Amino acid sequence: MNNEFEDISENIKRIRFNMEEAKVKAGRENDDIKIMAVTKTVPAERVNFAVSQGFELLGENRVQEYLSKKEEYAKNAQVQFIGHLQSNKVKYIIDSVTMIQSVDSTDLAREISARAVKQGRVTDILCEVNIGGEASKSGFSPEALKEGIYEISELPGVRVCGLMTIPPPSESCIYFEKMQRLFEDMKAAPPENSAISLLSMGMSADYAEAVKFGTGMVRLGSALFGARNYSV
Ligand SMILES: *Cc1c(COP(=O)(O)O)cnc(C)c1O
């Protein structure tokens, strides 16, 4: 037995246990809550081990880093983009990611749509919400969200599938609750051509909490792969 990735195996056991426990506590035993493996700074071999253990959904933050690793990734990996994306870099990733979760402006959505249309595809996106109103984070303000989503839903090359957020670190619960409300409101009155069904929130420090507030996908980096030597 190769123990090179024993640390990841242990982390996976802990994550599965914690997720089950959180789901039971929240009365969500039967919900399919996706777990994304966030790969920033993690070598492709370690990522591929996680893929082999059932973590096939990968989250990428940086275009350059992704392009340098993507050929090495296992073929059954499914990649989504979750980092800040400049419009001029959309063209490098659009043909190989299944979703862009970090759409933080109508301009970015326009560029994604234009590129997608050129390739004859429709790209699934989430709108990122700056739920804590932090200057350091991008995303729609809660106030601007609805109008933004309606505008974006008119673009032919994107399909709005839901919302993503990174809340202020210390008070996740307050913000998870606000996000849940925003998400339920959008779901109740979805724009035409949208498919609002996914709320992406919860990271290593707070994923069990996010389960309480209706998350459909948690995104785990350090809880799965260990501490990063620098933060992104
Ligand atoms: C880094 C990152 C994560 C994972 O962070 P951890 O705290 O290591 O789990 C999740 N989502 C986004 C958008 C990130 O940039």
> Does the pLDDT at position 160 exceed 80?
yes
- Smallest CA separation from ligand 1 atom 11, residue: 219
Q: What dotted CATH number matches 3-225? A: 3.20.20.10
Cβ partners under 8 Å of residue 8, min gap 6: 46, 49, 50, 53, 224, 225, 226
How do residues 72-110 score in pLDDT, each as one tens digit? 999 999 999 999 999 999 999 999 999 999 999 999 999
Structure tokens at 223: 């809880």
How do residues 186-200 score in pLDDT, each as one tens digit? 999 999 999 999 999
Residue 199 to residues 60, 219, 227: CA-CA distances in angstroms? 18, 11, 25
* H-type alpha helices, 44-155: 44-52, 63-69, 90-93, 106-118, 142-153
pLDDT, average across residues 20-41: 98
pLDDT, average across residues 54-81: 98
Residue 123 confidence (pLDDT): 98
pLDDT category of residue 124 using cuts at 50, 70 and 90 = very high
Report how far ligand 1's centroid is from the alpha carbon of 202 (Å). 9
Q: Which of 20-24, 84-88, 219-223, 225-229 has the lowest mean pLDDT?
A: 225-229
CB atoms within 10 A of CB 104: 19
Report how far ligand 1's centroid is from the alpha carbon of 62 (Å). 12
Cα 98 from Cα 151, distance rounded (Å): 22
Residue 205 confidence (pLDDT): 96
- Smallest CA separation from ligand 1 atom 12, residue: 82
Residue 154 confidence (pLDDT): 98
Which among 210, 224, 124 has a CA at the least distance from the CA of 165? 210
* Buried residues in 63-94 as b, exposed as e (16+ CB within 10 A): bebbeebbeebeeebebbbbbbbeeebbeebb
Which atom in ligand 1 lies closest to the alpha carbon of residue 219? 10
Amino acid letter for position 105: S
pLDDT category of residue 170 using cuts at 50, 70 and 90 = confident
pLDDT category of residue 3 using cuts at 50, 70 and 90 = confident
Report how far ligand 1's centroid is from the alpha carbon of 2 (Å). 28
Residue 56 confidence (pLDDT): 98
Provide φ and ψ at 198, rounded to 5°: -125, 130
Residue 162 confidence (pLDDT): 98
Report how far ligand 1's centroid is from the alpha carbon of 17 (Å). 20
Contact yes or no for 218/172 (Cβ under 8 A): no
- Site residues for ligand 1, CB cut-off 6 Å: 38, 40, 61, 82-83, 166, 203-205, 219-223, 232
pLDDT, average across residues 109-115: 98
Which atom in ligand 1 lies closest to the alpha carbon of residue 102? 13
Q: Considering the entire predicted model, what is its pTM?
A: 0.96
pLDDT, average across residues 215-226: 98
Residue 229 confidence (pLDDT): 73
Contact yes or no for 15/35 (Cβ under 8 A): yes
